[in-house]
Structure 1
Amino acid sequence: MIQSKIFILFISLISLTSFGQSKNFLDRSYLETKAKVDTLVTPDKITIEITIDEEDTKKKKTAEEQEQDLKRALESLDIDISEDLTLVDLSSDFKKYFLRGQKVLKAKTYNLIVHDAKMAGQVLVKLDQAEISNVNITKTEFTDRENLISQLKAKAVLKAKNNAEAMLKPLDIKLGPLLYVSDLQMRQNYLSGKVSGVQIRGMASVPPPPAPEMLDIEFEKIKFTAEVYAKFSI
């Protein structure tokens, strides 16, 4: 019985101590501030969607013939098609045409990955020369995204600290240690398919290239933004 009372008293003391520490934390003088940083980066991963369709070609080439034209065009640019070209979809109107007694027409869709606007322009020209016109730039990305986000968060925290020190300087008050910090915002805008001066949807929308092997295009940069909330003791 005595041991039980001692145990209850011990727990009560711990609770009071914890409450006192929590209250002391809340009673501290502190300064709150927010800070935001952003940056623009050039995309280094561009996804180009390429569709070859037996129904679209003027020379009525088969999907297999167009596929060989596609591979030759890309290999002429030293693109590793085993690594950067993937088949997304293979479709066929077999049922529809079989019932009508007509020839089956096939279509294939590929995704091609390139790493800069210059190569993207060269690809568009080569595909135009190969009479492959159903081309669409579907996504622009920055591959070192996670590292960039970490850097922006660190800069935002440092900016919050500098802001706090600047506010206290006229009062001759020294900034204390950081009590709390939290992410408020981490945003990025992928400007998928946006190219300066060029609408990418079929080569008919692309102006004639200034040189046989070059189409001068430039992708809009991707904007990353980080914002933090910080609380410092004073």
Structure 2
Amino acid sequence: MIKQTLFFTIALYTFNLQAQSKNFIDQPYIETLARADTLVSPDRIFLNIIVKEKDSKGKISVEELEKNMYEKLKSIGIDTKKDLLLNNLSSNYRKYFLKSQDIQKSKSYTLMVTSAQSAGEVIAALEDIEISNVSLESTAYSKSDQMALFLKSKAVAKARIQALALAKPLNQKVSNAILISDLTDAKYSSRNMMARKQLASKELLSRESKGEDSEADEVEFVKIKLASVVNVTFRLE
């Protein structure tokens, strides 16, 4: 008796699922794909700074350059305790004419600034103390999560507008949404970041190779493109 009851329950549940699926397929509906995107200026700019001792008669040690760097960055308003991070400490060996070896130490730092203007000020300030090995690591937008939600909502609204436009010539009304799918590519962000890094690095290298004046307003970074894609199915009446 218990087995029969269990079998009947499972059969009824399966029938209900099939009926719901059949009802969804049989009823008139319209499906639209919509995309919303925007460009934002990066507000998290990460610069790589390499401090390397000067190989000359009046050799300047890494420690001295490091001290000068800290003082210079503080003088332009950089919070070195919060925004400056030491990456590694390395020693490079170079051979000279007398086959002797000299240890040439270097340190790598990552500095975060919040605008292109600040990045320009940092580059100019470090050049003043003979630290010119500065490159772009990456850029980011601090409110990307909030912007992503806004774009999803915008894409859904756009999907409904498209559905209305498609249904109008048929004299049919667009009703409630039956299914909403978020098709935003999660890998898009990483690809976009790599593209921004490459483009911005080229801009920075081009600027340095031309020997242009290190004014802050001349430094610009590629804007970040954020996008959301949704697929929405509406019931038609």
TM value normalised by structure 1? 0.86
CA deviation map 1:17-61 (0-9, x unaligned): 332222112211110111111100010010111001125678521
Structure with the largest fraction of helix? 2
Secondary structure at the aligned position of 1:200 is classed as: helix
Give the letter aligned to residue 209 of structure 1: S
Q: Contact 1:87–1:108 (CA<8 Å) still a contact in 2?
A: yes
Cα distance in 2 for partners of 1:101, 1:159 equals 70
Query: Which residue number corresponds to residue 218 of structure 2?
Result: 216
CA deviation map 1:56-115 (0-9, x unaligned): 678521000010111111001111100000001110137999xx7533221000000000
Secondary structure at the aligned position of 1:93 is classed as: strand
Cα distance in 2 for partners of 1:58, 1:181 equals 70
Query: Which residue number corresponds to residue 38 of structure 1?
Result: 37
Query: Which residue number corresponds to residue 131 of structure 1?
Result: 130
Cα distance in 2 for partners of 1:232, 1:154 equals 16
Query: Which residue number corresponds to residue 75 of structure 1?
Result: 74
Q: Contact 1:121–1:216 (CA<8 Å) still a contact in 2?
A: yes
Q: CA RMSD in A?
A: 2.7
Query: Which residue number corresponds to residue 231 of structure 1?
Result: 233
Instruction: Determine which of 188, 201, 205 is the counterpart of 1:200.
Output: 205
Cα distance in 1 for partners of 2:228, 2:57 equals 50
Q: Contact 1:124–1:203 (CA<8 Å) still a contact in 2?
A: no
Q: Contact 1:135–1:200 (CA<8 Å) still a contact in 2?
A: no
Cα distance in 2 for partners of 1:150, 1:167 equals 26
- State how many pairs are aligned: 228
Query: Which residue number corresponds to residue 168 of structure 1?
Result: 167
> Would you say 1:141 and 2:135 are equivalent positions?
no
Cα distance in 1 for partners of 2:2, 2:224 equals 67
- Structure 1: tracts of 5 or more residues without a match: none
> Would you say 1:50 and 2:49 are equivalent positions?
yes
Cα distance in 1 for partners of 2:57, 2:84 equals 24
Distance 1:105 1:175, change over 3 A: same
Secondary structure at the aligned position of 1:104 is classed as: strand
Q: Contact 2:94–2:104 (CA<8 Å) still a contact in 1?
A: no
CA deviation map 1:4-23 (0-9, x unaligned): 43443343333323322221
Q: Contact 2:136–2:201 (CA<8 Å) still a contact in 1?
A: no
